[in-house]
Amino acid sequence: MLRRPLLRRLAYIRRNRCSGLLGALGLFILVSPLLAGSPIGAMALAASLLVILVLAVWALHVRRPFVWALSALAFITVDVLVADRMGAVWIRPLALAVIAVFLGTVTVALLRYVLDRRPITTDKVFGAVAAYVLIAFSFASLFGLLQVFQPDAFHAAIGRGPDGRLAWPDLMYFSFTVLTSTGFGEITPGSHMARNLVVIEQILGVMYVAFLIARLANMYGSRQMR
């Protein structure tokens, strides 16, 4: 009796793979504050993020060359993250840069899937929300990279880590406040480059919503003309 509902749910996820991706992203957001406080937890957080990105590749039905390229990028990401956690602090900028590139590449592929000319499906709706979350993750990585070169890039009324920088959950929170244009809270940009990145993310957030609404309106208008 319990097997049938489970099989139905698995079949639903196979038809709507982006729903699984969105669920994994939501779980990642919830557990981030619990794992970021220790080196082992931070490593588990990074590994979880890589698993989510692999799930994103699975959800997109991308072509084999793209899968191989992302696999190579994922391998490099794992290597630099392990080196960073083993004490090679000098490699941290490279680790953050590779993560940002990896996140950005997957986000672009997801956006191409969501905004293409094929009919809007339930899977694409889940994919649209997942892409929005990944945009925030990408800029959170860029903010972390900026902190390496400009430790005072952000003013914060909250505690910082032992290295004097904001942790990933704080940067993720700040990135979502910027992307959604809800206004600054405990964290504000403190340098010219930080402000420029904030402006770019705000523009992308507005453009994304505008493109998505235009895509849906275009589809609705086409159906009305038939």
211 or 74, higher pLDDT: 211
**Cα 141 vs. chain centroid, distance in angstroms?**
9
Query: Which residues, listed in sequence order, are joined to residue 189 by a DSSP beta bridge?
Result: 154
Would the CA dihedral through 139, 140, 146, 148 be positive or negative? negative
Question: Measured between alpha carbons, how far is 129 from 179 in angstroms, rounded to an integer?
Answer: 13
Is residue 85 a contact partner of residue 105, using CB atoms and an 8 Å limit?
A: no
pTM (predicted TM-score)? 0.81
Q: What is the mean pLDDT of residues 129-138?
A: 90
Q: Which of 208, 180, 218, 178 is nearest to 196 (CA)?
A: 178
Longest Cα–Cα distance in the chain: 63
Q: Is 70 exceeded by the pLDDT of residue 25?
A: yes
If pLDDT is split at 50, 70 and 90, which confidence band does 225 have? very low
Q: Is 164 helix (H, G, I), strand (E, B) or coil?
A: coil
Q: What is the pLDDT at residue 224?
A: 47
- Distance between the two ends of the chain, CA-based, in angstroms? 45
How far CA 89 is from CA of 38, 51, 74, 79, 114, in Å, comes to 16, 24, 20, 13, 38
Evaluate if residue 155 carries a pLDDT over 70.
yes
Taking alpha carbons only, the member of 201, 209, 172 closest to residue 187 is: 172
Q: Would you place residue 94 in the very low, low, confident or very high pLDDT band (cuts 50, 70, 90)? A: confident
Between 201 and 122, whose confidence is greater? 201
Q: How far apart are CA 82 and CA 170, in angstroms?
A: 22
Which pLDDT score is estimated for 50?
72
Give the pLDDT of residue 124.
83
Q: Which pLDDT score, from 0 to 100, does residue 196 have?
A: 95
pLDDT of residue 15: 66
- Which residues neighbour 132 within 8 Å (Cβ) at sequence distance 6 or greater? 179, 208
Closest Cα to residue 178, out of 109, 79, 170? Answer: 170
Q: Are 55 and 20 in contact (CB under 8 A)?
A: yes
* Weakest mean pLDDT among 34-43, 56-65, 76-85, 140-149: 76-85
Q: What is the mean pLDDT of residues 40-63?
A: 71
Mean pLDDT, residues 129-140 taken together? 90
